A and B are shown apart, each in its own frame.
Chain A
Amino acid sequence: MSTPLLRQPVFNVESLRGQFPILATRVHGQPLVYLDNAATTQKPDCVIDALAHYYRHQNANVHRGVHHLSEVATSAYEAVREKLRRCLNARETREVIFTRGTTEAINLVAQSLSGHWLRPGDEVLISWMEHHSNIVPWQMACARTGAVLKVIPMTDAGELDLDAARRLISERTRVLGIVHVSNALGTVNPVTELTRLAHDAGALVLVDGAQAVAHLPVDVQAIDCDFYVCSGHKQYGPTGVGALIGRASVLERMPPWQGGGDMIRAVRFEGTEYTDLPYRFEAGTPSIAEVIGWGAAIDWFEGLDHDALRTHEDAVLRYAEERATEVPGLRLVGTAPWKVGVMSFVIDGVHPHDLGTIVDHHGVAIRTGHHCAMPVMERLGLPATARASFAIYNTRQEVDTLITALLAAREVLV
C-alpha cells in the first residue's frame, strides 16, 4: 500500500526538528527517537522561550493588580483565551475556560452537572474507547446523583458500534461523553454525528479532544458539542494547562465547581455572588506561565502549513504500519480506516514491557501498558499493548529505527 506521497517530501521536517532542542538528545548512546507523543509532545524553542520570558520579564498575578506587571501578565494571559477561541472556532472568548488539563476540564463538567442536571435514573453515555479521565469523573457523578453509566461498545477493529450507539441514546440520556481520537488506538470517532443524535434526545455532549487537537482541524461549532476539552501539552505546549470550551448558554446555567478567588463578584459571610463567564469557573491563581506558553505553541502551530504537515504525519503513520508487517508475529491493535497519530501493536512471544525496555536501548521511546484505557485492553483481550505515537517532527528514518529495534527485541526474547 505504498503511496507516491512517501517519495515526495513536501514538508521540511529537518528544519522543523531543529526547533525542538530535546530531539538532539542521545539515549543510551543512540539518537533519541521520540514516539510517545500521545503521552506528551515535545516543545519547540519558542514555547520554552515564552515560559522563560514570562518569568524573567512579566511575572505577576493576573486580574488583581493595577500595577504595570499585573497588567502585562493579564493581557498576555487573556490574549491566549482569544487565540484558543480562534484555533477551535468557539463563538465567544468567554466560552474558553482554562483548567490544569483535559482531566480537570472533564471533572469540572461532571461535577458541575451533578449539581443541577443529573437526577436518579438519568443516563450518562460514554464509549468503550474512553481514557480513564472520561470514565472515572462520570462514575463519580453517577454515584453522587443516582444516574446510570452506559457504554457504547467497540468493534474488534477499534471502531465505535454506531448502531449500538443509536439504540443506547434515548430520552433518558442526559450526557454523552465521547473521545474525539482514541489515545490507545488512534481511531477518529464521528463526533459530529454522535452529537447530533445525542442532541436530538435532549442530552448535553462533551467531546474529549486531548488527542485530536494536534492532529485534526477542530471546529467546535461544526461539531456543535456543548463542551470540548483539551490539553496544552499534547499540542506542543507546556504541561499543567488545558481548556474547557463550552457553549455559553449551557455554562451560564451551571453552578461553579471550585470556590475561591477570581470567581466571585462579592463575598459576604451570608452568601457569595459569583462572577460571569469565564472567570466563575477559574477559581484561584491559574497556570499563568503555562497558558502563555500554550499561546506561543498555538501561534507556532498555526503558522505551519497544515495541509503539508497532515500529509507528512499521515505518510509516516502509513509507512510505520506498512513496515510493521515485516516484524514476524506483530499484530496491529486498532485498525479503523480513519486513524491519526497512533500505532498500537503486540508481538507474539514478547510482552510489551520487555519491548519498551529493549527498544529504549536503541534510543526509541514508546509507551507500553494499558494507556489509561483498561476497558479497551479488556475488550480486546490484551493485558497491554506497545504504542508508537507520532508528531509532526517524526520521520520515516525514525520508523526504520523502531522496526530495527523491534526485530532486535524478538531476537532477544523469542
Chain B
Amino acid sequence: MFALKDLYQEVIVDHNRAPRNFGHLAAPTHRAEGFNPLCGDRLTIELAVDADGVIRELAFDGQGCAISVASASLMTEAIKGRTLAEAEPLFERFHTMLTTAVESDLLNGDDSLGKLEALAGVRAFPSRVKCATLCWHALRSALHGETVATTE
C-alpha cells in the first residue's frame, strides 16, 4: 500500500480533480495532440509563444487517468513563463526521475523539479510511466512543429 500512497499523493489527486490551465487558448502559436494507443487516452496541448521564445500561455484539454491529467496540469504550471530552450531539458530530467530506480541527484539543489516531483512515485509503476509522459510528448511535438505525438 505504501507505493500506492506515493503514487496518488494529495497533489496528484488535487490536480486531477481540478486541473489547472484546462481548456483552449484563443490564439495558440503551437498545438499538438498526444495519443496513447495502449489506453486510448488523448490530450491536446496549446501554446502561445512570444517573439522572445517565452511560453506565455499554455492549455491542455482531453481525457485521461489521474496520473496523465495531473501530470499535464503540473506541466503547464512548470512550463509557463519558461523559454522554448528550457522546456526540452526539463522533460529529460522529468523522464529520468520517472525511469531511474533510485532517487536521482537531479532532484536536489538547483536542479529541483519543484512540484513535478510529486510524480516521482510513478517510477514504482512502469506500466504507468507513459501516462505521466503523454503530455510531455505532446508538448515536444508542439514545439517541434508536429501535430501528433504518440507514446508508442
Contact = CB atoms under 8 A, between A and B. Distances in A.
Interface of A: 28, 350-354, 357-358, 361, 368-370, 374, 377, 383-384, 412-413
Contacts of B128: 353, 357
B66 A351 contact: yes
B42 interface: yes
Given A370-B39, A383-B40, A384-B39, 4 more contacts: A353-B39, A374-B40, A383-B63, A383-B64
Contact of B125 (A350, A357, A377, A383): A357
A351 B40 contact: no
Contacts, number: 51
B120 to A, nearest CB: 16
A354 B7 CA distance: 10
A413 B39 contact: no
A158 B20 CA distance: 36
| 4 shortest interchain CB distances as A-B pairs | A351-B65, A353-B65, A383-B40, A361-B4
B65 A354 contact: yes
A27 B16 CA distance: 27
Contacts of B90: none
Interface in B107-148: 125, 128, 131
B39 to A, nearest CB: 5
B13 interface: yes
Given A369-B39, A384-B39, A361 B1 contact: yes
Interface residues of B, number: 21
Contacts of B4: 357-358, 361, 412
Contacts of B66: 350-351, 354, 413
Nearest to A355: B65
Contact of A412 (B13, B64, B65, B125): B13
Nearest to A370: B40
A357 B126 CA distance: 11
Q: Which of A352, A357, A369 has the most CB of B within 10 A?
A: A357
B11 to A, nearest CB: 13
A383 B128 CA distance: 16
A370 B35 CA distance: 14
B59 interface: no
